């Protein structure tokens, strides 16, 4: 078992969830999965930055999460790039904030780490949706690995299923409920709320952000469709290739009319092989019959149906967000890159 | 890429589905998954037995499936054990008929192959449900691998998900609709048929056998529960440890009463960690609310929900039977043992 020295760029919800998993299950990861990760550096814009050559106990990081520089360290105050360059880590977990327009600053972090031959694991959709082909080539060039399970459906192993286990079954179409916030809002509208009230409730419950456009306009789901298309179907599409409509246009009357017909509105992200070659990708609200494999997915749950040549439809249902669920995505990626199943 | 010489014990639906996949996708399996299997021998009780040192084209096997000994071969008429001993195969696909009481004759075949250091892939529940611990130890002793994906939910990668991708998430409970025949019957009973009529229809449609007890009494599902318990939860239980009730006791009135209450009857196989240590395993008809993750699974589809510490519930839905779907299970196992993902 080779120890893995890890640098974390960002120590918000996901990074803390990951540290909690290491604190509680580190021994099992080592004995059963051959993975012994030690966090040697964290750089967080708000919480401070620390580097310690011999590593940190995950528990002490969690105890000092609001001000990391309280901890005894060999260096403090390094920015993200300095941390990547000087921490001598084997792998970098890129967990800074997501930007689906430029991919920055995460894109620069990921490029820097891969160019140095460091493995990268990330839950950050930005750089992956915008520049996956380039990053995959960069990783191959430098003998590095890149794990992105957490960019779609958090730690629910959607990419490992679609791009791994089902690869040889011939995936011809993917349809998913890939955004928990909009699914929560639509589920609440079925209970009688109008869009504005359901959105306000989602914001109170912490499912939606103050500016909800990333979710309700389908941008987040479109990013996931691009990632699924690239990884599972080898289709090199970008954000602009996704026909995109959000759920603002779905009215309480629409939801009621669907219910009367025994149907439901769902925001479905999809990508499928086109008869003319290439793929067609879309995110749009769809009225589906209750027999549809995604019709029963309620609340903040996510789901993804892979239509395959050999198995027909295979559907995976699981959490799309959450501290431990997303932190677990990093565990899966690290096991795949540096441990054993 | 190392070529894989394969011996098939049994050439019924599953073996022919597998050969069809090799015929259509052999090149992709080689280039993308590093798997180049050549069928060098088949021994089938009804269809005859052939061995050819340089191997057979899958298409010629399919063309002669009713009488294999029509083919030009280096040897004919070998029984299963002779085939295993003399074919010099790297891997054996055990596809003879399933017996959940003794596991024979498949058990003897699997033991013989593993003891010779040959990899074994099988869709046969018998030996795996009855003697998994012994067979795993035998495989380890002789440096052989054993792949059993097709014993549960055909090629839907249920074991790869539960015992592989979710292993480090801490699986504490498994609940599944693991038998398509009974689910088909219950679904048809919801449409108004009584048990006897629904069973007769299932038999006409080819979902149920002339003696339906393996399905309707829950024996098939119990075998799958035992396999899930052993592989996913490391719980060394046997068939006798599964509390088992079938669906004969579910009446048309029961189904109607559930529907009126917005609920459904499902035959659910389950295994969960018991507070007193060990696990509790059962197969029994259960009345579940429509919000239950397995309530929406209709017809002959199968589904399995893994309850985990880190991800909560993760559900996989897919085919539970079928020529190509079950043949694909062997492809998955061979990729895992002898190719690359």
Q: Which residues of B114-129 are buried (b: 16+ CB within 10 A; e: fewer)?
A: beeebbbbbbbbbbbb
Confidence band for A310, pLDDT divided at 50, 70 and 90? very high
**Separation between Cα atoms, residue A147 and residue A334, nearest integer Å:** 7
Size of the A and B interface in Cβ pairs below 8 Å? 122
Q: What is the pLDDT of residue A292?
A: 85
Burial class (CB in 10 A: 0-12, 13-18, 19+), B206: exposed
Query: Does the N-terminal peptide bond of residue A105 adopt cis geometry, omega within 30 degrees of 0?
Result: yes
A293 has pLDDT over 80: yes
**B204 — contact with chain A (CB < 8 Å)?**
no
Residues B90 and B119 sit within 8 Å (Cβ to Cβ): yes
Structure tokens at B314: 């993760």
pLDDT digits (tens, 9 = 90+) for A149-193: 999 999 999 999 999 999 999 999 999 999 999 999 999 999 999
DSSP state of B341: -
Q: What residue ranges do the domains of chain B occupy?
A: 4-155+323-340, 166-319
User: Do the chains contact at A313 and B317, CB–CB below 8 Å?
Assistant: yes
A75 has pLDDT over 80: yes
> What are the helix (H) ranges across chain B?
13-33, 58-63, 80-86, 106-115, 125-141, 158-159, 180-190, 195-204, 213-216, 219-233, 252-260, 323-338
Query: By C-alpha distance, which of A43, A163, B271, A130 is closest to A111?
Result: A130
Structure tokens at A157: 């192993």
With residue B122 as reference, give the H or E element that holds it: strand B119-122
Query: Does the N-terminal peptide bond of residue B105 adopt cis geometry, omega within 30 degrees of 0?
Result: yes
Q: What is the pLDDT of residue B205?
A: 86
Query: By C-alpha distance, which of A315, A306, A320, A222 is closest to A272?
Result: A306
Average pLDDT across chain A, whole number: 96
- Over residues A289-293, the mean pLDDT reads 85
**Separation between Cα atoms, residue B83 and residue A138, nearest integer Å:** 48
Q: For residue B303, what is the nearest residue in chain A, using CA coordinates?
A: A315
Confidence band for A1, pLDDT divided at 50, 70 and 90? low
B 144-203 near A (Cβ less than 8 A): 154-157, 160-161, 164-170
Query: By C-alpha distance, which of B39, B30, B31 is closest to B327?
Result: B39
Tally the C-alpha atoms within 13 A of residue A339's C-alpha that lie toward its C-beta. 25
**Separation between Cα atoms, residue B161 and residue A162, nearest integer Å:** 12
Determine how β-strand A119-122 pairs with β-strand A91-94: parallel
Query: CB count, 10 Å around CB of B139?
Result: 20
Q: What is the pLDDT of residue B206?
A: 84
User: Do the chains contact at B318 and A312, CB–CB below 8 Å?
Assistant: yes
**Separation between Cα atoms, residue B198 and residue B191, nearest integer Å:** 10
Q: What is the pLDDT of residue B229?
A: 98
Say whether B128 sits in a helix, a strand or coil.
Answer: helix
Residues B19 and B62 sit within 8 Å (Cβ to Cβ): yes
A207 has pLDDT over 90: no
Q: For residue B298, what is the nearest residue in chain A, using CA coordinates?
A: A291
Residues B288 and B264 sit within 8 Å (Cβ to Cβ): yes
Q: Which residue has the tokens 């890429």?
A: B1
Determine how β-strand B301-308 pairs with β-strand B48-56: unpaired
User: Do the chains contact at A161 and B164, CB–CB below 8 Å?
Assistant: no
Q: Which residue has the tokens 């959105």?
A: A199
Say whether B75 sits in a helix, a strand or coil.
Answer: strand
Q: pLDDT > 90: what percent of chain A?
A: 93
Structure tokens at B146: 């054993």
Domain B166-319 in CATH: superfamily?
Answer: Dihydrodipicolinate Reductase; domain 2 (3.30.360.10)
Query: Secondary structure of A98-119 in the HEC alphabet?
Result: CCCCCCCCHHHHHHHHHHCCCE
Confidence band for A256, pLDDT divided at 50, 70 and 90? very high
According to DSSP, the residues that pair with B285 across neighbouring strands are: B267
Q: For residue A299, what is the nearest residue in chain B, using CA coordinates?
A: B291
Per-position pLDDT tens, chain B of length 341 = 678 999 999 999 999 999 999 999 999 999 999 999 999 999 999 999 999 999 999 999 999 999 999 999 999 999 999 999 999 999 999 999 999 999 999 999 999 999 999 999 999 999 999 999 999 999 999 999 999 999 999 999 999 999 999 999 999 999 999 999 999 999 999 999 999 999 999 999 888 888 999 999 999 999 999 999 999 999 999 999 999 999 999 999 999 999 999 899 999 999 999 999 999 999 999 999 987 889 989 888 999 999 999 999 999 999 999 999 999 999 999 999 999 87
**Separation between Cα atoms, residue B54 and residue B38, nearest integer Å:** 8
User: Do the chains contact at A325 and B310, CB–CB below 8 Å?
Assistant: yes
Tally the C-alpha atoms within 13 A of residue A269's C-alpha that lie toward its C-beta. 30
Q: Which residues of B152-177 are buried (b: 16+ CB within 10 A; e: fewer)?
A: bbbbbbbbbbbbbbbbbbbbebbbbb
Say whether B25 sits in a helix, a strand or coil.
Answer: helix
Q: For residue B35, what is the nearest residue in chain A, using CA coordinates?
A: A168
Tally the C-alpha atoms within 13 A of residue B308's C-alpha that lie toward its C-beta. 27
Active site residues of A: 224
For helices A180-190 and A195-204, the axis angle rounded to 10 degrees is 130
**Nearest Cβ partner of B325 from A25, A310, A335?**
A310
Assign domain B4-155+323-340 to a CATH class.
alpha beta
**Separation between Cα atoms, residue A194 and residue A198, nearest integer Å:** 6
User: Do the chains contact at A293 and B319, CB–CB below 8 Å?
Assistant: no
User: Do the chains contact at B325 and A335, CB–CB below 8 Å?
Assistant: no
**A328 — contact with chain B (CB < 8 Å)?**
yes
Q: Which residue has the tokens 């919800």?
A: A13
Lowest mean pLDDT among A64-78, A206-220, B230-244: A206-220
Q: What is the pLDDT of residue A169?
A: 96
Query: By C-alpha distance, which of A112, A100, A164, A158 is closest to A138?
Result: A112
Q: What is the number of helices (H) and of strands (E) in chain A?
A: 12, 13
pLDDT digits (tens, 9 = 90+) for A115-125: 999 999 999 99
- Over residues A73-84, the mean pLDDT reads 98
């Amino acid at each position: 078992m080779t120890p893995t020295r890890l640098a974390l760029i960002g120590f918000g919800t996901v990074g803390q969830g990951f540290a909690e998993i290491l604190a509680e299950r580190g021994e099992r990861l080592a004995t059963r999965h051959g993975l012994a990760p030690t966090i040697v550096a964290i750089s967080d814009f708000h919480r401070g930055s620390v580097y310690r050559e011999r590593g940190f106990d995950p528990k002490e990081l969690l105890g000092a999460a609001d001000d990391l520089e309280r901890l005894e360290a060999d260096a403090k105050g390094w920015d993200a790039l300095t941390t990547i360059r000087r921490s001598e880590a084997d792998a970098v977990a890129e967990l800074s904030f997501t930007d689906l327009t430029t991919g920055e600053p995460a894109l620069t972090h990921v490029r820097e780490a891969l160019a140095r031959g460091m493995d990268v694991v990330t839950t950050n959709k930005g750089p992956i949706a915008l520049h996956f082909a380039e990053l995959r080539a960069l990783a191959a060039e430098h003998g590095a690995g890149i794990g992105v399970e957490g960019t779609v459906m958090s730690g629910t192993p959607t990419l490992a299923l679609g791009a791994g286990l089902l690869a040889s079954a011939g995936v011809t179409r993917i349809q998913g409920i890939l955004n928990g916030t909009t699914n929560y809002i639509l589920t609440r509208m079925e209970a009688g709320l109008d869009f504005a009230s359901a959105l306000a409730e989602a914001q109170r419950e912490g499912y939606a952000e103050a500016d909800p456009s990333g979710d309700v306009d389908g941008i987040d789901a479109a990013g996931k469709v691009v990632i699924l298309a690239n990884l599972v179907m080898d289709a090199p599409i970008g954000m602009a290739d996704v026909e995109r409509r959000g759920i603002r246009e779905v009215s309480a009357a629409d939801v009621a009319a669907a219910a009367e017909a025994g149907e439901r509105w769902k925001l479905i992200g999809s990508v499928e092989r086109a008869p003319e070659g290439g793929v067609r990708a879309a995110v749009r609200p769809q009225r589906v019959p209750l027999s549809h494999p995604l019709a029963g997915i309620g609340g903040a749950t996510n789901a993804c149906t892979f239509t395959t040549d050999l198995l027909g439809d295979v559907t995976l249902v699981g959490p799309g967000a959450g501290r431990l669920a997303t932190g677990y995505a990093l565990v899966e990626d690290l096991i795949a890159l540096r441990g054993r199943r």
